[in-house]
Structure 1
Amino acid sequence: MGKLDGRVVVVTGAARGQGEQEARLFTAEGARVLLTDVLDDQGEAVAKALGQSYAHLDVACEADWAAAVTAAKEAYGRIDGLVNNAGILRFNALVDTPLDEFMNVVRVNQVGCFLGIKAVAPEIAAAGGGTIVNTASYTAMTGMAAVGTYAATKHAILGLTRVAAIELARQRVRVNAMCPGAIDTPMSNPARLDPDADPEETSGALDELYRRLVPLGRIGRPEEVARLALFLTCDDSSYITGQPFVIDGGWLAGVAVV
């Protein structure tokens, strides 16, 4: 028996990184998954390997969300869960950030999460209840230089999570947020996008960097975030809603001075 047997879950940004690992773990736990992304070739390949369905989804496009909901219902008959994983990161000082860059990050991270809740929550309620997991960030809980735009959107996701949890509770829809720290995905490790790079070598370099910053002494792995997403999607978390879950190797706990 898998923890998600019989469940239908939509995962955004599922072509690679955290979203891919969430789709893989959910499949292993018995879920039927609609993988979505704008990276269609990669997303379709992952979906095919898993025996699951795929749909193109620009999370900031309301029409794309409507089409994804239709695709999920045509493939599986209903929707029981959503993981709002898709997101982008840009590095810049706030005063140097062009408005277009700021709005693009807001569009994907914040608007995308809002539209996902808006489009999918009624379907989950109609199916008898289920879960929404929003991907926020360590930077939703604190500040960090050079990622102000990203942090602003991730703070906003926590607000959306809390309000949605309150409003949807009577419809038996639980809504929680994950707050990952540094995770070894293409977002924080662009070398993973280089086909000639050795991912183990680049991961080792990141581990060395975070050894000084993170109490657990290394960068996180997307598989670890996927396990948290599984917990928040399955019945193990049946009495939890409206909460942020930090998964950061202890980074938020504070700074070691010795």
Structure 2
Amino acid sequence: MRFDNKVAIVTGGSSGIGFETGQRLSSEGARVYNLDIAESEAVASKFIHCDVSSFEQIQNAVQSVIAAEGKIDALFANAGIHKFGTIEETAIEDMEKVISINCFGIFYLLKAVLPVMRKQESGSILLMGSDQSFVGKGSSSVYGMSKGAVAQLTKSTAIDYAPFNIRVNCICPGTCETGILKRAVGEFNQLTGVSELEILQMLENAQPIKRIAKPSEIASLACYLLSSENSFMTGALVPVDGGYTCQ
């Protein structure tokens, strides 16, 4: 199996893409640690309560994994939140929350995990980007800003740590059936009055493939990107978006 005797950390692994990825990693032999604020029913991973916007909590969680396993082979920095709104519609506290999780959370994870992987001289890291790492969307100022930042962090980190046999890539999903999408659709409904059914139909029609993704489809690519099968890939932004960004 691709992840036999491998130790993997997945943030936000209690639901959606993180959950599906953790399940698949475990089924392929990995010992998976799920860092999340909400406990999961998944028996395939070990849960550690962790708010990724707190560097102290991340440090403690990573040290717990090291104490138990002695190494970290793979990291999927998946945890994130969404916020609809133009700049004027976005409250400062909402902007700060999105950035603290989507940007600071990933930076903190890298800060805690990279020294471990550098000492090992091996590791595979996957950051959660978005189709908005490539293109802009209306009423998505702060979310788009955060995912643009993740894209650049991927590239610079990949360059810095390539000499240590550490690969850093970024998966960039399009619209996907997750709790984040459900909350975003509800938020857009409140802002515009457009029904949730109409919003979902609009989202489906916006994709050349004419549907939205399932978390398992994103997880399949995530596991490939974390595996040694793509041993010559680093610094890549990989779209999995039903053709949305190729239009």
TM-score (norm 2): 0.91
Partner of 2:178: 185
Post-superposition Cα deviations, 1:218-256, rounded to whole Å, max 9, x if no partner, equal 0001111111111111111100000100010001121xx
**What letter corresponds to residue 143 of structure 2 in structure 1?**
Y
Distance 1:27 1:191 in 2: 30
Within 5 A, what are the aligned runs for 1:1-258? 2-39=1-38, 42-43=39-40, 45-46=41-42, 49-50=43-44, 52-190=45-183, 208-254=201-247
Q: Is the 8 A contact 1:32 1:76 kept in 2?
A: no
d(CA) in 2 for partners of 1:175, 1:124:
12
Q: In 1, distance between residues paired with 2:139 and 2:197?
A: 24
Unaligned runs of 5+ residues in structure 2 are 187-195
Task: Return the offset for 1:57.
Answer: 1.2
- CA distance in 1 between counterparts of 2:32 and 2:185 reads 25
Aligned residue in 1 for 2:193: none
Q: Aligned residues: percent identity?
A: 30
Which amino acid letter does the alignment assign opposite residue 28 of structure 1? S
Is this contact kept in 1: 2:82–2:184, CA < 8 A? no
- For the 8 Å contact 1:186–1:192, the answer to whether it is kept is no
Q: Where do 5+ consecutive residues of structure 1 fail to align?
A: 194-202
User: Aligned partner of 1:125: which letter?
Assistant: R
Q: Greater shift after overlay, 140-149 or 71-80?
A: 71-80
Partners of 1:53 and 1:249 lie apart in 2 by 32
Match of 1:200 in 2: none
TM-score (norm 1): 0.87
Task: Specify the code of the residue in structure 2 equivalent to 1:189.
Answer: K
Q: Is the 8 A contact 1:11 1:33 kept in 2?
A: yes
RMSD: 2.0
Distance 2:157 2:76 in 1: 14
SS at match of 1:82: strand
1:173-209 CA distance string (max 9 Å, x none): 100001111000000024999xxxxxxxxx9987744
| Structure 1 residue 75, shift from structure 2 partner | 2.5
**Residues 114-141 of structure 1: CA distance to partner in whole angstroms, max 9, x if unpaired?**
1111110111222230111000100111
* 8 Å contact kept, 1:215–1:250: yes
Deviates more, 1:183-192 or 1:123-132: 183-192
Partner of 1:196: none
- How many residues align? The count is 238
* Contact in 2 for aligned 1:207/1:217 (Cα 8 Å): no
